[in-house]
Amino acid sequence: MKYFLSVFIFCLFGLQIFQRSFNIVKQSSLIGVADSTLRPVFSIKAYYTSEFQPVFQKYTEEKMGFRPTLIRLRNQFDYSVFRYTQASGVVIGKNGMLFNITYIQNYMGSVFKGEQEIRSEISRLKMIQDELKKHNVDFLVIFAPGKATYYSELIPGYFRKRPVTNYQAYIENLSGSGINFIDMNAWFLKLKGKTKYPLYPLNGTHLSTYGTALAADSMFRYIEKLRKIDLPGFSWDKVTLSDTMRYSDNDLGELLNLCRPV
């Protein structure tokens, strides 16, 4: 048995070295991952100061044969068994909803800038708007919809909501400031459960194509009213449904680098 295991392990090492050298088995590249370590130049000094070894180890790991396949196998195991992901910045929410952690942090208020800094920024924005107006240029602030705000009930329970967020502070200070702004984040919340098609995909961080169209239509109408002009028409006469994710529908799902699609 020991002999069999030794031969088996030796064959595994040999296979990965063979794959690394000749790339016999074609593998799809990992999404969002790039090999960044250059092969270090060996020198006696670098060896004795331990500068060479960790860089060479990292370089060897990145060039290992079957690396994409092995990483996908590990990621699939973590996702299927523990609902855990190795993808940086991707959070698996309730019901399998994928989030970008930045949107969660902003919604929860864990990256709050502070009232003073926000008021200072708004003061500068007002100066910019007033100066541009002198040149017949209108200034417009748009609060983009956020998936974490829209699906806040699906955020994992280990995140804690703070009493104040950047979004709340900006809206409170912008109201009555005279600065032109559209709060699409609040508008999309009002649309929740009332739209015929989804505004956010399960595996994407951005709006669905349908949601993008609604946002664009609203923005164009606001600009027409603000500028008292008639922009080229923006409209659609049909919505094409698909059972395949397209465009950015799966941008977070791809970063999971699984063996099979979510």
| Integer angstrom CA distances of residue 230 from 17, 179, 181, 183 | 65, 22, 20, 22
How far apart are the C-alpha atoms of 199 and 206, rounded to whole Å? 9
β-partners of residue 143 are 183
pLDDT band of residue 34 (cuts 50, 70, 90) is: low
- C-alpha–C-alpha distance, residues 67 and 57, integer Å: 14
Q: How confident is the model at residue 249 (pLDDT cuts 50, 70, 90)?
A: very high
The candidate with the shortest Cα–Cα distance to 257, out of 29, 19, 23, is 29
CA atoms within 13 A on the CB side of 20: 14
**Tens digits of residue pLDDT in 86-144:** 888 999 999 999 999 999 999 999 999 999 999 999 999 999 999 999 999 999 999 99
172-190 pLDDT, tens per residue? Answer: 999 989 999 999 999 999 9
Structure tokens at 219: 């923005």
Domain definitions of the chain by residue range: 2-65, 118-240
